[in-house]
């Protein structure tokens, strides 16, 4: 979404970049195709994890009660990642297929779903899993937390008028306020954006950190 704007004019000649920079991309451009495939690759991986971690599957493998409880949280995070992918799909492409863990592997190609239907599905998924997601905090950095789910809901509601024809600004405000009140704060030191300590990889660190 940024590459076709003057916010990200890049002179490199990497495959796909020139078309994005000059707004001459088509449905066959490398970056457009790759993004579409990525949406469904990630959704498919989440689906398979969910298929392999049902109560019946875990029982057949003799999984302990403590590990089963941990896996239940991972299942919620997998559902978040799938919801995130489907949001990318409806935001960038509109109508797309909807495939869940209940669809057979190797079956008939999935039918195209309406943008509004996938929007409703994603909202229902995010709402359903919130209580099962880990709480925001330093120990859960990089994981799908309740704050991440609320932020994604805010994004969905903010654009509900585009996705469904019915605005949802009040819901967007409520979801954003839930994120704001979750205990996040801006890092007071700007150089921290470009520093890495012994516990992180040498990449840009987000400015928003968790108190405590």
* Residue 7 to residue 1: CA distance in whole angstroms: 10
The per-residue pLDDT for 197 is 55
**Contact assessment for residue 115 and residue 163, using Cβ atoms and an 8 Å cutoff:** yes
Burial of 124: CB neighbours in 10 Å, binned 0-12, 13-18, 19+: exposed
**Contact assessment for residue 160 and residue 120, using Cβ atoms and an 8 Å cutoff:** no
The per-residue pLDDT for 184 is 82
The per-residue pLDDT for 107 is 81
The per-residue pLDDT for 204 is 33
The per-residue pLDDT for 209 is 37
Ramachandran region, residue 94 (left: φ > 0; alpha: ψ -120 to 50; beta: rest): left
Q: Which helix (H) or strand (E) holds 112?
A: strand 112-113
The per-residue pLDDT for 2 is 85
The per-residue pLDDT for 62 is 95
**Contact assessment for residue 68 and residue 58, using Cβ atoms and an 8 Å cutoff:** yes
Ramachandran region, residue 189 (left: φ > 0; alpha: ψ -120 to 50; beta: rest): beta
* Residue 128 to residue 86: CA distance in whole angstroms: 16
Which residues in the chain land under pLDDT 70?
196-212
* Residue 139 to residue 145: CA distance in whole angstroms: 11
Model pTM score:
0.85
CA-to-CA separations, 45 to 7, 50, 101, in angstroms, rounded: 32, 9, 10
The per-residue pLDDT for 196 is 60
Tokens of 122: 């994603």
The per-residue pLDDT for 175 is 97
The per-residue pLDDT for 133 is 94
The per-residue pLDDT for 102 is 94
> For the chain, what's the residue count?
212
Q: How many CB atoms lie within 10 A of CB 128?
A: 13
Q: Which residues, at least 6 apart from 58, have a Cβ–Cβ distance to it below 8 Å? A: 68, 71
The per-residue pLDDT for 149 is 96
- Give the CA radius of gyration of the chain: 19
The string of pLDDT tens digits covering residues 14-40 is 888 889 888 898 999 999 999 999 999
Angle of the 146-158 helix axis to the 115-129 helix axis, nearest 10:
150
């Amino acid at each position: 979404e940024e590459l076709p704007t003057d916010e990200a004019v890049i002179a490199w000649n990497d495959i796909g970049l020139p078309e994005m920079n000059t707004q001459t991309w088509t449905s066959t451009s490398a970056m457009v195709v790759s993004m579409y495939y990525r949406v469904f690759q990630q959704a498919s991986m989440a689906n398979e994890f969910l298929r392999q971690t049902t109560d019946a599957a875990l029982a057949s493998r003799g999984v302990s009660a403590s590990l089963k409880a941990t896996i239940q949280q991972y299942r919620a995070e997998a559902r978040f990642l799938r919801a995130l992918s489907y949001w990318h799909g409806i935001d960038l492409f509109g109508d797309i297929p909807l495939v869940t863990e209940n669809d057979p592997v190797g079956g008939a190609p999935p039918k195209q779903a309406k943008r509004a239907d996938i929007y409703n599905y994603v909202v229902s998924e995010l709402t359903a899993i919130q209580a099962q997601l880990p709480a925001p905090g330093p120990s859960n950095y990089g994981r799908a937390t309740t704050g991440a789910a609320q932020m994604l809901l805010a994004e969905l509601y903010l654009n509900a008028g585009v996705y469904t024809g019915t605005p949802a600004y009040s819901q967007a405000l409520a979801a954003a306020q839930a994120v704001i009140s979750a205990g996040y704060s801006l890092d007071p030191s700007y150089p921290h954006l470009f520093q890495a300590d012994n516990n992180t990889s040498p990449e840009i660190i987000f400015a928003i950190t968790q108190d405590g």
